[in-house]
Structure formats: C-alpha cells, structure tokens
Amino acid sequence: MTIFTRIIKGEIPSYKVAEDERFYAFLDINPLVKGHTLVIPKLPEPEADYIFDLDDQLLADMMVFAKMVAKGIKQATGCKRVGVAVLGMEVNHVHIHLIPLKKETDMLFSNPKLQLPSDEMCSIANSIAETIENPA
C-alpha cells in the first residue's frame, strides 16, 4: 500500500483541497511553491503507478477533476498559470502535480523544496478549497 492510499484512507493526515468519489487533491508537503497540489485517483489495490495505464475514461475524468482544482489554485494564489506535471517516480501511485506559476522556473523539480509551517499549509489548503466550492 502506498503513502497516497494511506492518505486516502485517512491513516496519514493531509491538507485536503478537494475530493469526490473517485479523486483526491491535497497539498504537496514538500512544495516547489505555495499551493503545489497533488491530484490522485482513489484506486483499488494494487494501485496503478503509471498514468497511461489508466483506462481512457478514468484518465479523462482525472484531468477534468485536475482542471477544476487548477482553477481554484489560480484564483486562490493569483498565479499566472498552473503548470501540470506527471512524473510518477517518487511514489508508485498515479498522481498529477499542479504547480502555481509566476515564472517558468517555478516548476523546476531541482529547485529547493519549501518547508512551510502547518498553520500556513492549512490556510493555503482552505483558501484553495473555498475557491473551488465558491468560484468567482
């Protein structure tokens, strides 16, 4: 069982941004920038670890869910764009990175990761969740 499955099951805490029956979005605990969010599918075990192994409908629905989350991130953070990355090398569970961008270099995974206090992470997550629930 991956750490992401344990997060979905509530065994490990996370900073939830959005959730429905099939997908879960939460802040990356080692973000590149404030608002860096992960979108994961709620998969039966064993978890798929390569996004292009998902069936077409699940992949399409995941991207639509990610789009909704990205709109919330953009509104909450005031970024210019939200970058999308699919790496999948660090956790063997399909996931999409949504990264608020003010400049292209904000998305370099070689950049130092931020260490934000819990109260700031909660504030960011709540701000994004509120914009998803109540878009402008």
The arithmetic mean of pLDDT across residues 45-63, rounded, is 88
Q: Average pLDDT for residues 17-36, to the nearest whole number?
A: 96
Global pTM value: 0.94
Check 36, 93, 95, 97 and give the catalytic one.
95
Report yes or no: 117 and 57 within 8 Å, Cβ to Cβ: no
Dihedrals phi, psi of 85, to nearest 5 degrees: -135, 140
Contact 33/99 with Cβ under 8 angstroms? yes
Band the pLDDT of 49: cuts 50, 70, 90: confident
Instruction: Please indicate whether residue 97 is annotated as part of the active site.
Output: no
